[in-house]
Amino acid sequence: MTSVKTREVLTYLEVAGSAGLQAGELRKCFDMTGAANPSATINLVLLRARAKWLVRRSDSTEKSIHYRGQPVYRWYITPRGRRWLARYDANELARKQRKLRAEEHVRARQNAREAFERRQKQLLATVVDPSKMTLQERNRKIVELRREGLPLRVVGEVFGITYERVRQIEKEAL
* pLDDT tens column, 32-57: 676 677 777 888 888 888 888 888 88
pLDDT digits (tens, 9 = 90+) for 131-149: 667 778 888 888 888 888 8
**Predicted pLDDT of residue 164:** 93
**Domain 6-85, CATH number (from 1.10.1370.30, 3.20.20.70, 1.20.1250.20, 1.10.10.10):** 1.10.10.10
Say how far apart CA 81 and CA 52 lie, in whole Å: 9
Contact call for residues 62 and 72 (beta carbons, < 8 A): yes
User: Residue 4 — pLDDT band, cuts 50, 70, 90?
Assistant: low
Q: By C-alpha distance, which of 104, 173, 106, 94 is closest to 138?
A: 173
Say how far apart CA 136 and CA 9 lie, in whole Å: 74
Q: CB 30: neighbour CB atoms within 10 A?
A: 20
What one-letter code names the amino acid at 165? R
Q: What value does the mean pLDDT of the chain take?
A: 80
Please provide the distance, in angstroms rounded to a whole number, between the alpha carbons at the two ends of the chain: 64
Q: What is the pTM of this model?
A: 0.48
pLDDT digits (tens, 9 = 90+) for 44-102: 888 888 888 888 888 777 776 666 667 778 888 899 988 888 888 777 777 788 888 88
Enumerate the CATH 1.10.10.10 domain ranges in the chain, comma separated: 6-85
